[in-house]
């Protein structure tokens, strides 16, 4: 299982490197990014499946498992959104993030060496944890898209329009659309996760209430975007800041 995660991290890293090389030096996109991310995604899924069998529950009981699940979720939404909306450049930004998360998960102490098999599992709690963490994959990718927008905005302001990076960037409207779309998807999954949370045998722990605060913050942000309106740059900044602030939910687990 150790080798599975290492290979998955290496493939994600190669996807990012090849993406950068292709765009910056050859000024064209490469399908290797998606192919490598797809294989990495498959290996992450295999690891999570085996870990779940060892736990006899959803593998979200230590910091390493949470990081792998998050990396898998980011990979999943990238493969869906990147392919469906032809934002293959998104892989250049998300692949290094996946690689780093997988490598951090392998740091000694992050993963239980002898995971305890769970008994008397609360399946509502399982659904709450899995779907809530899954929502963070979409929210993370929304933040990555927001970073893409800020990078392109910076290139435009500095008039650095001759680089291969600029020429292969999607249109601003496409990037903003992906930021909003992914945030909506993430909020929708988080809503479902919280609904399952209310059905748990025991709920009301610190992480549950922090998750509710995160849900309210994203709901407010989207409400302002659609009702009152704000500039795409402000929206992108808020999405990035809010995502990093929302990671506090994992600190109080």
Which pLDDT does position 119 carry in this prediction?
81
CB-CB neighbours of 224 under 10 Å: 14
Length of the chain as a residue count: 253
Mean pLDDT, rounded, for 79-96: 69
Report which secondary-structure segment, H or E, holds 32: helix 32-55
**pLDDT tens-digit profile of 99-152?**
999 999 999 989 988 888 888 778 888 888 899 999 999 999 999 889 988 988
Using only C-alpha atoms, the chain has a radius of gyration, in whole angstroms, of 19
Q: In the prediction, which pLDDT does 213 show?
A: 93
- Give the rounded distance of the alpha carbon of 250 from its chain centre: 14
Question: What's the N-to-C CA distance of the chain in angstroms?
Answer: 25
- Cβ 238 vs Cβ 141: under 8 Å: no
pLDDT of residue 33: 80
Per-residue confidence (pLDDT) for residue 75, from 0 to 100: 92
Largest Cα–Cα distance of the chain, in whole Å? 61
pLDDT tens per residue across span 222-248: 999 999 999 999 999 999 999 999 988
Q: 111-138 as b/e, with b when 16 or more CB fall inside 10 Å? A: beeebeeeeeebebbbbbbbbbbbbbbb
- How many CB atoms are closer than 10 A to CB 54? 15
- Report in angstroms the alpha-carbon separations of 4 from 84, 131, 167: 28, 24, 36
For residue 214, how many other CB atoms are within 10 A of its CB? 25
What was the pLDDT predicted at 113? 84
pLDDT of residue 78: 87
Cα dihedral sign, 234-236-238-241: negative
Q: Alpha-carbon distance 4 to 45, whole Å?
A: 10
Mean pLDDT of the chain: 85
Of 55, 205, 51, 63, which Cα lies nearest the Cα of 128? 205
pLDDT tens digits along 152-174: 888 777 766 565 555 666 778 88
Please count the CA atoms within 13 angstroms of the CA of 23 that sit on its side-chain side. Answer: 23
The CA distances from residue 108 to 2, 71, 103, 111, 112, in Å, are: 12, 18, 11, 7, 9
């Amino acid at each position: 299982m150790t080798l599975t995660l290492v290979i998955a991290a290496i493939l994600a890293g190669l996807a990012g490197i090849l993406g950068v090389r292709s765009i910056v030096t050859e000024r064209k996109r490469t399908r290797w990014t998606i192919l490598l991310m797809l294989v990495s995604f498959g290996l992450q899924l295999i690891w999570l499946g085996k870990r779940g069998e060892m736990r006899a529950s959803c593998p979200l009981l230590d910091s390493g498992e949470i990081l792998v699940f998050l990396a898998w979720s980011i990979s999943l939404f990238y493969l869906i959104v990147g392919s469906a909306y032809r934002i293959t450049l998104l892989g250049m930004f998300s692949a290094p993030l996946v690689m780093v998360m997988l490598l951090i998960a392998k740091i000694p102490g992050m993963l239980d060496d002898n995971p305890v098999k769970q008994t008397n599992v609360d399946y509502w709690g399982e659904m709450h944890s899995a779907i809530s963490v899954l929502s963070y994959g979409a929210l993370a990718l929304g933040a990555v898209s927001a970073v893409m927008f800020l990078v392109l905005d910076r290139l435009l302001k500095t008039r650095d329009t001759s680089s291969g990076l600029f020429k292969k960037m999607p249109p601003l409207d496409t990037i903003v659309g992906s930021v909003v779309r992914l945030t909506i998807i993430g909020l929708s999954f988080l809503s479902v996760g919280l609904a399952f949370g209310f059905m748990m045998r025991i709920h009301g722990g610190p992480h549950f209430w922090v998750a509710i605060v995160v849900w309210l913050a994203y709901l407010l942000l989207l409400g302002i975007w659609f009702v009152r309106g704000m500039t795409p740059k402000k929206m992108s900044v808020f999405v990035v800041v809010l995502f990093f602030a929302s990671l506090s939910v994992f600190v109080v687990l």
